[in-house]
Chains A and B, each alone.
Chain A
């Protein structure tokens, strides 16, 4: 908190010593602040910042600390070194499946949902009739909660006995026999894919809108120049538009990665993140809150999730910093 000391507010005395002389413009702003203003400003930043630091970053640090203990919430906290991590990486049967599901989630988003969203944005960016209707339809899933997305897709995926649409349709049309109708959400070899389709349904619209806004801000003369040079639409996009969209591209990548690390709700709605739908996020809550009270062990999983998350966060911050400096 030492950064909040009013010294940050006051101009360095040496440089402003010559009062009457023309001072740098920027510094004059500060000198107009009186003592009360400075206290007020400090409080305006300080209180929210303190709450944020405690609740978000403080809890993150506590999580890291707990990862090296075997605390169960009742017994006194005992330091166990790297035991939780050893157990996690070697004997705990759900860690590698969960991690690979998160990776799969990321890959499907990166190679399918996000490009699909970009493609839709590019299609809708042309001045065409009906664009706004398409946009509304593609974007509607985004305003639904992921939990609701889970329920809505359960209506499609439920087994025959649960009156799911897909299986009923397949059986009614004679494509599969009632006995061999797939259990889309119950079969652990396919349910992650079923869930990923539902998740993509929402992610595509999200990316589409973000990208569409970026496309609208591209200087039209760039495209005209490319067209005059004889570039076709594909060439124009990949060689002209895409490169100037670099800032948006970074945002899209960060959003995609973060969303796949945060994945939780749909898997939880389907089966609490089990039986083929394990994710790092559901392992954390199942181990430490919902089903067991292994706070140390759950925190160790949280540390893994944190470590991975720091990569996209770092990328994003570097970008923000660079754009601030320029």
Chain B
């Protein structure tokens, strides 16, 4: 009797497992569909779609990379990638450098001050960017005696402002993301053993040496995870680049795609090819560094 019941249960569990697999497979297909379809469209010929009475709901007569060649030749895509790199790489490095410094230094202050600083950063990071965009836009356009109102950057601007300048975008990304990273790194540093730091202090090491030689190496896993995450986030930014850049050619790739919209309203193949080209870097980074990416996300929420 009992044996019968366990076989019965096992059969039921297997059945529910099969059901789960079916459920997940169907869902996975639905999830993958928009991207697969975009890939498929990017390889099709526009003429082929127009000629078919079923439009895009049809099998291709041939597939080619022509759309990619077309997009590459008609738009300064290399320039867009370059713009993205010029903004993203410095912003990621600066953010990690600054937030690790703040997280470290803050831990040396009183507990109360430590908490206040972390709250200022964390709360600021949660604000919707649209709340500050109006004054920020004005500030970025503000000049004082022909120089940008934000002083130390005058050499890096070619229009006397920091609006429409890479440095302006690096500045806002770094500032905004520092909020998140400081919070994560500070929590991470709390889990490190205090003995190492104290031993270094007894040996007479200055705070900067301790930060540089003791703390930073120990934080490497967190820094690796955060850099993957930051790369994807900053690469994907649309809002700041759209608002704080005037000229289309200076925009990073995600915002530059906006130049294309409308122009190819009826030709999905070109839009698809351009979208795939914009998607490739983050998807590749994600597939290669999935573990870091996911652990970066969860570092932020685990302690929360």
Contacts and interface: CB of A to CB of B under 8 A. Distances in A.
Interface in A243-269: 247-248, 250-252, 254-255, 258, 261-262, 264-265, 268-269
Per DSSP, chain A at the interface is: helix
Nearest to B53: A172
B201 A32 contact: yes
A205 to B, nearest CB: 8
B8 to A, nearest CB: 15
B75 interface: no
Contacts of B87: none
B304 A247 contact: yes
A40 B208 contact: yes
Please indicate which of the listed interface residues A161, A162, A255 has the most CB atoms of chain B within 10 Å of its own CB: A162
Nearest to B105: A44
Interface stretch (A14-22, A55-63, A86-94, A221-229): A55-63
B178 A52 contact: yes
Contacts of A204: 31
Contacts of B176: 56
Given A145-B235, A162-B268, A323-B303, A258 B202 contact: no
Nearest to B130: A281
A249 to B, nearest CB: 10
Contact of A299 (B49, B105, B134, B283): B134
A9 interface: yes
B181 to A, nearest CB: 11
Contact of B135 (A62, A145, A285): A62
B122 to A, nearest CB: 7
Contacts of A164: 56, 268
Given A141-B35, A258-B128, A317-B119, A8 B208 contact: no
A210 interface: yes
Given A155-B41, A210-B297, A172 B54 contact: yes
A152 B38 contact: yes
Given A145-B237, A265-B239, A316-B122, A295 B134 contact: yes
A321 interface: yes
Interface in B255-290: 255, 257-258, 261, 265-268, 271-272, 274-275, 278-279, 282-283, 285-287, 290
Please indicate which of the listed interface residues A41, A141, A313 has the most CB atoms of chain B within 10 Å of its own CB: A41
Nearest to B127: A309
Contact of A8 (B23, B113, B286): B113
A210 B138 contact: no
A59 B105 contact: no
Interface string B17-42: 10011011001100110110110010
A298 interface: yes
A213 B291 CA distance: 12
B301 interface: yes
A232 to B, nearest CB: 11
A136 interface: yes
Please indicate which of the listed interface residues A151, A213, A289, A324 has the most CB atoms of chain B within 10 Å of its own CB: A151
A148 B130 contact: no
A45 B105 contact: yes
B93 interface: no
Contacts of A247: 302-304
A8 B114 CA distance: 10
A284 interface: yes
Interface in A119-144: 120, 123-124, 126, 128, 130, 133-134, 136-141, 143-144
Given A55-B175, A134-B24, A250-B304, A306 B31 contact: no
B290 A309 contact: no
Interface residues of A, number: 112
A195 to B, nearest CB: 13
B293 interface: yes
A305 B132 CA distance: 10
A62 B115 CA distance: 25
Contacts of B169: none
Contacts of A264: 130, 238-239
Interface string A269-283: 100000000001100
Contacts of A62: 135
B236 interface: yes
B132 A29 contact: no
A79 interface: no
A199 interface: no
Contacts of B49: 163
A52 B50 CA distance: 53
B89 interface: no
B221 interface: no
B131 A302 contact: yes
Nearest to A308: B128
Nearest to A43: B105
Contacts of A281: 128, 130
A309 B128 contact: yes
Contact of A168 (B54, B171, B239, B304): B54
30 contacts: A32-B201, A32-B202, A34-B206, A41-B105, A44-B102, A44-B104, A45-B101, A45-B105, A55-B171, A63-B131, A136-B290, A139-B294, A140-B31, A144-B282, A145-B238, A148-B257, A154-B261, A156-B34, A163-B56, A172-B57, A204-B31, A210-B298, A247-B302, A261-B128, A264-B238, A265-B239, A281-B128, A299-B135, A312-B126, A313-B123
Interface of B: 17, 20-21, 23-24, 27-28, 31-32, 34-35, 37-38, 41, 49-50, 53-58, 98-99, 101-102, 104-106, 108-110, 113, 115-124, 126-139, 171-172, 175-176, 178-179, 182, 198, 201-202, 206-208, 211, 232, 235-239, 242-243, 254-255, 257-258, 261, 265-268, 271-272, 274-275, 278-279, 282-283, 285-287, 290, 293-294, 297-298, 301-304
